[in-house]
Amino acid sequence: MAARKFFVGGNWKMNGNKAAIDVIVERLNGSINTSVETVCAPPQCYLDYTKSKLDSSLFVAAQNCYKVEKGAFTGDISPAMLKDLGVSHVILGHSERRHVFGESDQLVADKCAHALANDLTVIACIGEKLEEREAGQTEAVNVRQLTAIKNAISDWSKVVIAYEPVWAIGTGKTATPDQAQEVHEELRKWLASEVSKEVSDSIRIIYGGSVTGANCKDLAKKPDIDGFLVGGASLKPEFVDIINARD
């Protein structure tokens, strides 16, 4: 099986200012294990500032971008603009984009295709809501979201899948390592049968949802959990412990 490089992203969401970013950057610069792909995703107005401050061994991600290069799309940004800033990664399909801003599976898939065509690494988020899990629809929902992406792209080499159950985001209710492993394993099996064995073996499937310094090590022991997408704890000193969860 191909070795999968551990991947940890900090999704700062709509938080912070320059002073807060300076504090986070100071904690990370010089102290990060470079065998882990570590990515920080600041609000878009701070992308350039964060990029200018972070060590070049750390990557910067946008939290979103649109599906075309330019035009009359007030308030949005394009992959071409991210590339121009030296931003290498973008989070797409986050549950807050899907459920607060009403992004459809198709829009998320179109965004993924356009970002990949511009050579960005895409952190593609999927995940079920609590009522969907309780109705036994966890796999169906995740497969539906992933199928839209599969139908829009052909090259998976720059895709990281983030499984983020909506009920675990910002709630303090983490999926147990077994619950997360079960879904990751199902997704990997689905990729093997619907895309290819090679993609299934090599793609990183990371977990997000109330990951902390306290629970990251147990999650990281699971064979199909290749890293994390971290919200609240990525703003705190424990983010360094999460990056080092596999040590």
Residue 161 contacts residue 146 (beta carbons within 8 Å): yes
Least Å from the CB of residue 196 to ligand 13P = 27
As a whole number of angstroms, the distance between CA 226 and CA 161 comes to 10
Nearest to ligand 13P of 200, 216 (CB atom)? 216
Report yes or no: 179 and 137 within 8 Å, Cβ to Cβ. no
Chain-centre distance of CA 30, in angstroms? 23
Q: What is the DSSP letter of 174?
A: P
Bridge partners, residue 122, by sequence: 90, 159
Rounded Cα gap, residues 185 and 44, in angstroms: 33
Tell me which of 50, 181, 200, 210 binds ligand 13P, using CB under 6 A: 210
Nearer to ligand 13P, 103 or 200 (CB): 103
Under rule CB under 6 A, which residues in 91-110 are in contact with ligand 13P?
A: 94
Q: Which residues are catalytic?
A: 94, 164
Q: How far is the CB of 203 from ligand 13P (least distance, A)?
A: 18
Would you say 79 or 232 has its CB closer to ligand 13P?
A: 232
From 30-38, 113-121, 141-149, 203-211, give the range in contact with ligand 13P by CB under 6 A: 203-211
229 binds ligand 13P (CB under 6 A): yes
- For residues 24 and 200, which CB has a smaller minimum distance to ligand 13P in the complex? 24
Q: How far is the CB of 72 from ligand 13P (least distance, A)?
A: 29
Q: Taking CB under 6 A as the criterion, which residues in 163-182 touch ligand 13P?
A: 164, 169-170
What is the full DSSP assignment across 175-236?
PPHHHHHHHHHHHHHHHHHHT-HHHHHH-EEEEESS--TTTHHHHHTSTT--EEEESGGGGS
And the tokens for 35? 């065998």
Residue 40 interacts with ligand 13P (CB under 6 A)?
Answer: no
Is the sign of the CA dihedral 130, 132, 135, 141 positive or negative? Answer: negative
Strands (E) in the chain, as ranges, are 7-11, 37-41, 59-62, 89-92, 121-126, 159-163, 204-208, 227-230
Question: By CB under 6 A, how many residues form the interface with ligand 13P?
Answer: 14
**Position 128 contacts ligand 13P (CB under 6 A):** no
Q: Which stretch binds ligand 13P (CB under 6 A): 20-28, 66-74, 106-114, 202-210?
A: 202-210
Residues that bind ligand 13P (CB under 6 A): 11, 94, 164, 169-170, 208-211, 229-233
